Chain A
Amino acid sequence: MERGFYKEDIEELLKEKADQYKMYPSDKVWKGIHRSLHPNRKWYWLSLILFLGAVGYYTFIEFITPSTSSKAISKNNPASTLSKSTETTTGSGNNKPAVIIPFGNPKQTAGSSTGSIAKQRTFVLNPDNINEAGNTGVVINMDQPPQESAPAGNIEIQDNPILAFNQEAPVYDLDSRPVKKFWQPDNTVAGAQVPAAMPLTNPVAIDASRLGENTHNAQEDNKRMSWLANNAVYELPVPKQKRLGWQLTFTPTMNYRIWRGSNYPSDVKTLPLAPIIEGDPEKLVNHKPAMGFEVGSNILYTLNKTFTLKTGLLFNFTRYDIQAYSSSNSEPATIALNSNWGIATGELTTYTRYRNFGGDAAENLHNQYFQLSVPLGLEVNLLGKDKIHVGIGGTVQPTYLLNRNSYLLTADYKYATEPSLVRKWNVNTSVEAFISYKTGDLKWKIGPQLRYQLFSSYIQKYPIRENLYNYGIQIGVTKTIR
């Protein structure tokens, strides 16, 4: 009873002393607040820019610029090398020796014996390579079967008339590593040694007189052609099956969500500050689908003609719209939480000015999710031959939520943000059907895709289960890389 007399005094004392007591937070608190309010969006954008940059660079290299093999072919094309003065080529890993093959009809003038220029044309096969013995190259005598062709063997340019009788093909110095092209038809000096035009009199490489005899002999041409065919069959390596492919995809999507459960846990009868509103929240809210997109870069591995494994990286922008009402003042909103095995019921109180029912002005809110996924899946070719195929595919996608801007429905039908209730890791799955068309190394595909989020967007404590899904038309291009 005595204490009751001093009730107000002790309360006054407590309030006074509590207000007098000052504490100052550490820098960690302010830095944490700053980090939370200004998330390092640079990281996201930098990652996205790097990702797109890498994709763009690889696209440029693989899809736009000529491939290595076409470069090698162009080197043997005199027309493409006319403007080049000096050119070095590096070894391509192919150990086939350089081969010089005469073809066509050398048009010798009457004064050929006096050193006039021969018009015999040649192929130089594998100009980038040097045989193991260090020879300059192998000069083919067309009168002999392919296996009897003799190497020229360390022949100096001056001693090698086969390199000189042709003015229309470039001449390669096969002694040097890497191989240098030191002469070309426009007589541009590209090295210390420029071979002078010499008559076809030296028998070391080719019998010029016999070439002359063959000038008008069509059978010789046929023989050369058949030699080339034989060489192609027996000498050229059989190309290996190209199993790896690199795929780029873009999918405009229409996004929505599936809701299960209630904004009130089933075992909760009352919540302070949150009057129960009867009815299924799915029917009481006004949500609408919205457009999003997916960008992907995948590596494909062809197991056989039917099955192809797939993995890579996907970026998803998923969202849907919420028709809400805003009020001028923020007001408390109660988020009901699932009970802890029926023992205790939780709730969170937050402040918001967005309501589902009534308000000062209509407001269109966006629930947005930025996700990064790693698809692991399979493509199956069902129909088709040659260029056109029809297939289906499916992936499972472990997903990380990069960022979100999402509103949760509270127990009292308001919309509030509560980041602590949003799930960071999730798993998505997708199925697709497609039709593909192959042109050279590229395979284009188009077809419908359905993607579904297996776990709720929110942690288990939040009573509403939200599963996102989207459908769209996927456009993709695959480049065979190896």
Chain B
Amino acid sequence: MLSVCYRFAHHREDAEDMLQEGFIKVFSQIHTFQNKGAFEGWIRRIIVHTCINHLKKNKKFNESVDIIHATSIQVREESVPSIVQAKQVVECIRLLPIGYRTVLNLYAIEGYSHKEIADMLDIEESTSRSQYTRAKQMLEDILVKKKIIMRPKEKNNWLGVAAGR
């Protein structure tokens, strides 16, 4: 669960604060779990909501999302290890501006719908969609620059490097 928080947080310290707050809620409300679904899923839902609340409380989520910010991201050009490391992908996600990152995390990884994301983040559903599209584009650029993935032009398979190994 710390890795879930880490994808939303600015720093590891923030992630640990989120995790602590989330688990306090989990333990204090564990009697309300009805065994109707996966326990891990229930915990994960609480943790994700806690992360969103934490970002809102610290006014981090309201920071402007600027795509220009992403273009200035320094990407290391060193050679990619033969095995794509999960850590690298996660670190690439964390390079995204917080608004993009949050939508991408919620939609692509946590599986929330755009409507649910809109409700959680107080934004329009269309905004969620557009932010996700831009987030994904930006992440692709980062992953390519990091040589974690290759563009389709170079290989017919867009994910040739990542998936083929």
Partner-B contacts on A (CB < 8 A): 2-3, 5-7, 9-11, 13-15, 17-26, 28-29, 32-33, 36-37, 271-273, 328-330, 332, 340, 344-353, 417, 420
Contact = CB atoms under 8 A, between A and B. Distances in A.
Nearest to A24: B2
Contacts of A20: 86
26 contacts: A2-B153, A2-B158, A5-B158, A6-B158, A9-B158, A11-B108, A13-B159, A13-B163, A15-B108, A17-B89, A17-B90, A18-B89, A21-B87, A21-B90, A29-B2, A33-B27, A36-B24, A37-B27, A271-B122, A272-B122, A330-B29, A330-B32, A349-B52, A350-B25, A351-B29, A351-B32
B159 A10 contact: yes
A309 B89 CA distance: 69
A349 B158 contact: no
B159 A37 contact: no
B11 interface: no
B34 interface: yes
Q: Which 3 A-B pairs have the closest CB atoms?
A: A330-B32, A272-B119, A17-B89
Contacts of A21: 3, 86-87, 89-90
Interface of B: 2-3, 6-7, 15-16, 19-20, 23-25, 27-29, 32-34, 36, 46, 49, 52-53, 56-57, 59, 62, 84, 86-87, 89-90, 93, 104, 108-109, 118-120, 122, 136-137, 139-140, 149, 152-153, 158-159, 162-163
Contacts of B6: 23
B89 A15 contact: no
B20 A33 contact: yes
A21 B92 CA distance: 13
A3 B140 contact: yes
A351 B29 CA distance: 8
Given A2-B152, A349-B49, A10 B32 contact: no
A271 B123 CA distance: 10
A126 to B, nearest CB: 68
B34 A328 contact: yes
Given A272-B119, A273-B119, A351-B29, A13 B57 contact: no
Contacts of A417: 28
Contact of B158 (A10, A23, A271, A353): A10
B118 A272 contact: yes
Contacts of B93: 14, 18
A417 B27 CA distance: 13
Contacts of A5: 152, 158
A30 to B, nearest CB: 8
A273 B112 CA distance: 15
A349 B29 CA distance: 14
Contacts of B20: 25, 29, 32-33, 36
A347 B2 CA distance: 24
A344 B62 contact: yes
Nearest to A2: B152
Contacts of B86: 17-18, 20-21
B120 A349 contact: yes
Nearest to B132: A11
Given A21-B89, A349-B49, A352-B32, 20 more contacts: A10-B159, A13-B89, A15-B109, A17-B84, A17-B90, A18-B7, A18-B86, A18-B90, A21-B3, A23-B6, A25-B19, A29-B23, A33-B27, A37-B24, A347-B56, A348-B56, A350-B49, A351-B29, A351-B46, A353-B32
A19 B62 CA distance: 27
Nearest to B91: A21
B32 A9 contact: no
A18 B19 contact: no
B56 A346 contact: yes
A33 B24 CA distance: 6
Contacts of B152: 2-3, 5-6
B165 to A, nearest CB: 12
A345 B32 contact: no
A108 B90 CA distance: 114
A330 B3 CA distance: 25
B122 A22 contact: no
B29 A13 contact: no
Contacts of B46: 351
Contacts of A13: 89, 149, 159, 162-163
A465 to B, nearest CB: 20
A329 B153 CA distance: 51
Contacts of A345: 122
B16 A29 contact: yes
Nearest to A344: B62
Contacts of A10: 108, 136, 139-140, 149, 158-159
**Residue among A2, A7, A17, A273 with the most chain B CB within 10 A?**
A17
A382 B57 CA distance: 53
Contact of A9 (B19, B84, B163): B163
Contacts of A25: 2, 16, 19-20
**Residue among A2, A7, A25, A344 with the most chain B CB within 10 A?**
A25
